[in-house]
Amino acid sequence: MQIAEPAPPRAAIAHSASPADDEHLRLAQAALERELGRTDLQPSETEALREVLYALRERNVARVGIVYKQAFAEMRSSSDGVRQAQEHLESYFGR
């Protein structure tokens, strides 16, 4: 009977990108943290951005990749911070 090797820890998977790619994630996270302080966001917009921000804080890159486009699509008004976060995430995911 052959024993399978254990899967690498989740953090190791999340940090397999280059330092430049990681910088895109950090900058997107910083921009979203600032945006969540805005008082003019609708509750649905706040929730959408918060979902992306939580995934970024957890370094759950797979989750970020799944939710970020939908979250930005829910934004009725786009600020510079939201655009910057979106651009950083698009750069990271190569889209």
Instruction: Report the largest interatomic distance among the alpha carbons of the chain, rounded to a whole angstrom.
Output: 61
First to last CA, the chain: 44
Section 19-39 average pLDDT: 91
Other residues' Cβ atoms within 10 Å of the Cβ of residue 4 = 5
Residue found by looking up tokens 């790619």 in the block: 21
Count of alpha carbons within 13 angstroms of residue 16, beta-carbon side: 9
Domain boundaries, the chain: 40-95
Q: At 24, give phi and psi (nearest 5°).
A: -60, -40
Task: Report the pLDDT value the prediction gives residue 10, as an integer from 0 to 100.
Answer: 42
pLDDT at 12 over 50: no
CA distance 68 to 53: 9
Give the model's confidence band at 95: pLDDT under 50 very low, under 70 low, under 90 confident, else very high.
Answer: low
pLDDT at 5 over 80: no
Q: What is the DSSP string of 36-49?
A: TT-SS--HHHHHHH
pLDDT at 15 over 90: no
pTM across the whole model: 0.77
pLDDT (tens digit per residue) in 75-87: 988 899 999 999 9
